[in-house]
Structure 1
Amino acid sequence: MTGPRKPGCDEQLVWQDIFSAFVEATLPLIRDHLARGVGHHGMIANLLNARGIPCFGHARWTATDIRMVLSHGASREPG
């Protein structure tokens, strides 16, 4: 019996591109909530869930997902 198949390099690159597009699409929404004074990541997750905005790899947004998007978005900024 074999374990789960590991993705190949090409497949990993495709998933990285999909994740990058997800971050680019959701980062402005999260930053908008932060700019409006919603500082608690769990509350932002609840607001995105209430709007029906899908989360990458999960059924629902969590505070950890919000931090993940913010972290990846910050790593893309120049400087």
Structure 2
Amino acid sequence: MRNLAVVVGSLLLVGGAVAVVVADQERASAVAEVKAQIQQVEQELDASRGENLQLAEKLTALRSQIAEQDAKLADTTGFLK
């Protein structure tokens, strides 16, 4: 009976150790996957910042054109110059 208890205890100990190792490997792979996703999101964010900067430049140019046209339209003394 004692031998059976030692064998069962040893099997449980080995099984627990294997479960801990497997869980640690899964955690490590999950952490690596999350880091890869973070890197991808940072790259997409950098790309969108560049696009936003280009769009902001275009918007500024369009706003200045609109301001010039508004000034011409507001000039009632020049009447359609």
TM-score (norm 1): 0.36
Structure showing greater relative contact order (alpha-carbon pairs closer than 8 Å, 6 or more residues apart): 1
Q: Kindly name which structure, 1 or 2, has the bigger radius of gyration based on alpha carbons.
A: 2
TM-score (norm 2): 0.35
